[in-house]
Structure 1
Amino acid sequence: MKVSEKISQAIASGTPWFSLEFFPPKTEQGLVNLYDRIERMAKLGPLFVAVTWGAGGSTAQRTLELCAMCQSVFGIETVMHLTCTNMDKAMVDRALVEAKGAGIRNILALRGDPPRGTEYWTACDGGFTYAADLVRYIRDQYGDYFCIGVAGYPEGHIENTDKDADFQFFVEKVKAGADFVVSQLVYDYGVFVAWERRCRENGVDVPIAPGVLPIQSYQSFRRLAHLTKTRVPEELKIRVEEVKGNDQAIKDLGVEHAVQMVGGLQAAGIMGVHLTTLNLETTVQRVLASLGMAHGSGITRGASSASLVAAPSNTASAMVPPDSGSLATKRAWDDFPNGRWGDARSPAFGSLDAYGAMLKFDAQGAASTWGRPQSTSDISDLFAKYVAGEIPSLPWSDEPLLAETQRIRDELLRINKLGYWTLASQPALDAVSSSDATYGWGPRGGYIYQKAFVECFVPALMFPAFLSRLQSASPRITYYASNMQGDFVTNAYSAQNDTENATAVTALTWGVFPGRAVVQPTLIDKMNFLAWRTEAFQTWHEWANMFSRESSEARFLDNMASECWLVNVVDNEFKNPDAIWEMFK
């Protein structure tokens, strides 16, 4: 059934409705676990679900597979995102043919972001310059078979500073043949209500679903607000900062704010909402339960947080596998993802990467902030400036260092100047209070533990001696290392004599809380290390593309991608916080 018809029926009946958005996980195990999650969430009664499409078709096959499963196996009306950026006409045609073959009748037509490794989006063969061109093409090829949706931007698209002109482009996009609209997320329901009214006054009469993203964690909130440039109300900013060290409090605030958002929209007569899940489950369930919209789930309106949030168990598979145990455990085993070193088996692994590439500078901005590197000493100086707080970002990190880095800042400065270019790090902790303003997280009354950890690029000439030191310190030191060519070495094996398949999972951070199982939100294993490796090396090329292809800067940065090793070092002696620095000479 067409989504526009389902929305129209819900509007006519005055029934509140919701839809859910998922993204294709980076790993096969994550996809399998997402199927379990969607099967449970389907029982909540979404009007439809949507699945994102990676830039340039980078997730095309997995998106189609996920859409087909939702449509055919789980029986949920499914909207497939489709972008035309850096995709030629043949790729678009193939995607539409496969969508139709899978019984999918709903497409969200988007221009999309450029894929990683390219500076600019480019038009496809056949004239796909804007999303409106894709809408017209689908209409021309398939008539009314597909129900076509487009994106709307209540605060204007971030690339267009002329907001009035941007709005007119949106109106023209709808009139090109769109049947419904899904809006960019907003954190103030009044912004959406005013924009929706403006749409109606300008002849946009198709259903419009407001996008709402419940806050799941402090870092994801900061990152997504930064990427989308969405305005955050001052009161919400203050409240988020007040509880940023307490993951559960952040989630509670996220539920409260999302409930207020949806309630405000409903009070204004807007009865539907499109919820971005980030492939997580419990927070969305709590929002819908509080609103009385969780149909068929066994969850009742006003259910307490305690009854909806199980003790999370982000543990290695040998301890609590994600597909075992009670339903509550299945719902909550990845409730506390912690940066890119969460569990790679989680459906939410890599969630931030799914919603935008890392580099948002243009060429001029990149050169102004990061200079014009042509030697390894230039790179060492750049990383040292970042650690010292003299520049606000790196190509691999779009925000300043966290406060916890202060404890190890001097050592980070030293090793970056030596040529170990650090991408991530943390100090060792031994039973720090979970309420500590700098290092605490999770519920109050607990204790936090951390192993010292450093992730860095190491130039090829330095790598052999560095690896020798790491090997001599085993098993105290656990390491993972790989280059762009795919060479991989580690000493982390869970089974003796099986170095190919049985790599172990190393917990970097864990917490012990009253009445809960041990929570391990930060893990490192071969799967998540290699998933991040691809992006880490691609960023060198993305940075190189900020310069002329024939420039010495571009050649140097491309060479660095080819010659460096990415190395992850964990010191398992967390009671000896300074031992790890002996490795870096």
Structure 2
Amino acid sequence: MHITEKLDKYHETSNKTTFSFEYFVPKTTQGVQNLYDRMDRMFEASLPQFVDITWNAGGGRLSQMSTELVATSQSVLGLETCMHLTCTNMPVQQIDDALESAYNSGCQNILALRGDPPHDSQQWTPIEGGFHYAKDLVTYIKKKYGNHFQIGVAGYPEGHPEETVFENNLKYLKEKVDAGASFIITQMFYDADNFIQWCKDVRAFGIDVPIIPGIMPITTYDTFLRRASWGAINIPREFTAQLDPIKDDDELVREVGTQLVVQMCQKLIDSGYINHLHLYTMNLEKAPLMILERLGLLPTEGEVINQNSSNFPWRKSLNPNRKNEEVRPIFWKRRPYSYVARTSQWAVDEFPNGRFGDSSSPAFGGLDLCGSQLIRQSNKKSLELWATPKTLNDIALLVNNYLTGKLVCLPWCDTPLNHEVDTMLQHLLNLNNKLIFTINSQPQINGIRSNDKIHGWGPKDGYVYQKQYLEFLLPKSKLPGLESTLANNEMMTYFAVDVDGNLNSNHPDGSRANAVTWGIFPGREVVQPTIVEKVSFLAWKEEFYRIIEEWKLTLKDNEANKSVNLLDTLLHDYVLVNIVDNDFISKDDKIYELLNSL
């Protein structure tokens, strides 16, 4: 959705000031992974109207990381995303590539900027074949994409450093708006009175698009001065009077600085010129949330639950190509990034009637679509998280630490665990201690209201159901006992596969999907959003075993030889198994009872 449409829609029913967050693109793959987690966590806690991703000029991998971050934010995290685009070092072909990537990801908002001079230059000069000014970029985007993208531009309440004539700043801003810009996001500032006067001048100059102030939190004294100096920003006397005496106490600087910024923001809100704040997070979490909390802008618990409630047990992608998607295989429950990558090439009609369709379709992508690295941690971070396990008991401890919240991820689980697991937690811990390693699970549910805080999803006034499901690594020596017990069991169905692809199952028709979650809602058909299905399980098996191989690569030094041998044991002496207990009415943990008896 376009930013101004989204803000207008919200403010039709609420006078509450809205807000958004800006993030910059980290320099490392691990930094990007950590930022995804932070963006997701900050959204869950605060519900910003949109997020904004800066542009990494320079071409090659740097620019590609910007477009990847935008695509992941929009398509995987389901966040309304605005992409920066600059003229600095940007030939037209590279601008076209960036716009095409944004378009394909479902992004509908661009912040068009001239950009700062390159780091190795004191003066901004256009690249050959590129654009001179932001207005040229705005014109180009409008000509090529019409109204698909809503375009924002930068405003300078204290004037642009390269333009000393005040009226010229207003003239250039109006030229950008006349070229097609629909909103203005301003550079940082701390002088509220000057900003309010600038808003009056902007309106008097005939510019009537929404003005969104850029708010920079104060975290440390040195960064406060450095950022103000870099942008030639005036620092009000009140700020220096309060911050100078405490400049060596970082914690106190953040506390006092936050209060000063809060007072500034409240003055802006009271002026009547703005109803939205844009926070430059600098990829930090606490300082922006402190500002919002003290302004009373954070949502209530009820608002968080209502907003984060989904029509499905996952956050809906905002990529329009996925608008018909209503079903996902449960195997990717904790791997949403790789699942979306696998299905990113599916056309709109590849989700026929909202069903998952045939996962053997050529549109169901291979591992190459998921990137060269399936473990979404750097080698260094992997060692910090998971150390060098040398025994099967060490693996059990890692999994149990994840189950109890001491670890936020595992090689095969990207996302933290929630409280859904609580009712079966002790049984899962016991299985791991028995060296049956649990990978993914869900408890049985027989009719819980759809607004339940833990298990709820879908429209209000409905009921949701789940079959108990468990996926795990089982020692091959125990597989015959499992097969014998389940051979004629119609209520418990399983798939088991080893690294070589040898498959065992008792499914009466293994090619058909088995719904493991569903919902009943007023005025709707039964919704079945999560399934177990043979072909997609085999695709997941391929991914899972490659994750183990990649984990081995992080343990290459001589001291980790025992760890490499241990992972070879997981590869060759274990099988990947999933079991569904189709008796969702029963309150017994029959899967645990079965495995405990092997």
TM-score, scaled relative to structure 2 = 0.50
Quickly say closer, same or farther: Cα 1:73–1:132, change in 2 above 3 A: same
1:181 aligns with 2:218: no
Partner of 1:32: 33
1:286 to 257, 282, 290: 290
Partner of 1:375: none
CA distance in 2, matches of 1:125, 1:21: 30
CA distance in 2, matches of 1:250, 1:328: 32
1:76 aligns with 2:68: no
1:97 aligns with 2:103: no
> How far off is 1:112 after superposition?
0.2
CA distance in 1, matches of 2:385, 2:191: 39
Matched AA of 1:130: Y
Partner of 1:543: none
> How far off is 1:271 after superposition?
1.9
Matched AA of 1:268: S
Partner of 2:262: 259
Matches within 5 A, 1:565-576: none
Matched AA of 2:283: N
Partner of 1:21: 22
CA distance in 1, matches of 2:40, 2:155: 29
1:7 aligns with 2:7: yes
Matched AA of 2:35: L
> How far off is 1:162 after superposition?
1.6
Quickly say closer, same or farther: Cα 1:319–1:245, change in 2 above 3 A: farther
Contact preservation (8 Å) 2:57, 2:63: no
Quickly say closer, same or farther: Cα 1:51–1:271, change in 2 above 3 A: same
Matches within 5 A, 1:264-343: 264-269=267-272, 270-295=274-299
CA distance in 1, matches of 2:255, 2:402: 25
Contact preservation (8 Å) 1:135, 1:177: yes
Q: Which runs of 5+ in 2 are unaligned?
A: 305-379, 388-397, 409-554, 561-598
CA distance in 2, matches of 1:240, 1:30: 31
Give 3-state SS (helix, strand or coil) of 2:118's partner. coil
**CA-to-aligned-CA distance 1:259-286 (integer Å, 9 cap, x gap):** 1122111111222110000000011111
Matched AA of 1:16: T
Matched AA of 1:222: L
Give 3-state SS (helix, strand or coil) of 2:119's partner. coil
Matches within 5 A, 1:82-481: 82-126=85-129, 128-269=131-272, 270-295=274-299
Alignment length, in residue pairs?
Answer: 325
CA distance in 1, matches of 2:234, 2:405: 35
Give 3-state SS (helix, strand or coil) of 1:55's partner. coil
**CA-to-aligned-CA distance 1:270-308 (integer Å, 9 cap, x gap):** 2211000000001111111112211256999xxxxxxxx
Matched AA of 1:9: K
Partner of 2:452: none
> How far off is 1:213 after superposition?
0.5
CA distance in 1, matches of 2:141, 2:216: 29
CA distance in 1, matches of 2:56, 2:224: 21
CA distance in 2, matches of 1:187, 1:327: 44
> How far off is 1:319 after superposition?
7.4
Give 3-state SS (helix, strand or coil) of 1:24's partner. coil
Across the aligned residues of Structure 1 and Structure 2, the Cα RMSD in angstroms comes to 3.3
> How far off is 1:79 after superposition?
0.5
CA distance in 2, matches of 1:321, 1:57: 35
Matched AA of 1:35: Y
Quickly say closer, same or farther: Cα 1:186–1:119, change in 2 above 3 A: closer
CA distance in 2, matches of 1:87, 1:247: 39
Quickly say closer, same or farther: Cα 1:174–1:326, change in 2 above 3 A: farther
CA distance in 2, matches of 1:325, 1:239: 44
> How far off is 1:125 after superposition?
4.8
Quickly say closer, same or farther: Cα 1:249–1:318, change in 2 above 3 A: farther
CA distance in 2, matches of 1:39, 1:287: 19
> How far off is 1:11 after superposition?
4.3
> How far off is 1:123 after superposition?
2.2
Give 3-state SS (helix, strand or coil) of 1:185's partner. coil
CA distance in 2, matches of 1:275, 1:127: 30
Quickly say closer, same or farther: Cα 1:296–1:325, change in 2 above 3 A: farther
Bigger-Rg structure (1/2): 2
Quickly say closer, same or farther: Cα 1:40–1:121, change in 2 above 3 A: same
Matched AA of 1:281: E
Matched AA of 1:292: G
CA distance in 2, matches of 1:290, 1:325: 34
Matched AA of 1:49: V
CA distance in 2, matches of 1:296, 1:325: 29
Quickly say closer, same or farther: Cα 1:317–1:252, change in 2 above 3 A: farther
> How far off is 1:12 after superposition?
4.1
TM-score, scaled relative to structure 1 = 0.51
Quickly say closer, same or farther: Cα 1:117–1:297, change in 2 above 3 A: farther
CA distance in 1, matches of 2:262, 2:558: 53
CA distance in 2, matches of 1:329, 1:220: 33
CA distance in 2, matches of 1:162, 1:281: 38
Give 3-state SS (helix, strand or coil) of 1:82's partner. strand
CA distance in 1, matches of 2:404, 2:264: 29
> How far off is 1:10 after superposition?
3.7
CA distance in 1, matches of 2:197, 2:129: 36
Quickly say closer, same or farther: Cα 1:55–1:9, change in 2 above 3 A: same
Contact preservation (8 Å) 2:153, 2:181: yes
Give 3-state SS (helix, strand or coil) of 1:187's partner. coil
Percent identical residues = 42
Matched AA of 1:114: P
Quickly say closer, same or farther: Cα 1:217–1:327, change in 2 above 3 A: farther
Higher RCO (C-alpha 8 Å, min separation 6): 1
Matched AA of 1:285: L
**CA-to-aligned-CA distance 1:478-523 (integer Å, 9 cap, x gap):** xxxxxxxxxxxxxxxx998679xxxxxxxxxxxxxxxxxxxxxxxx
CA distance in 2, matches of 1:184, 1:160: 15
CA distance in 2, matches of 1:497, 1:121: 51
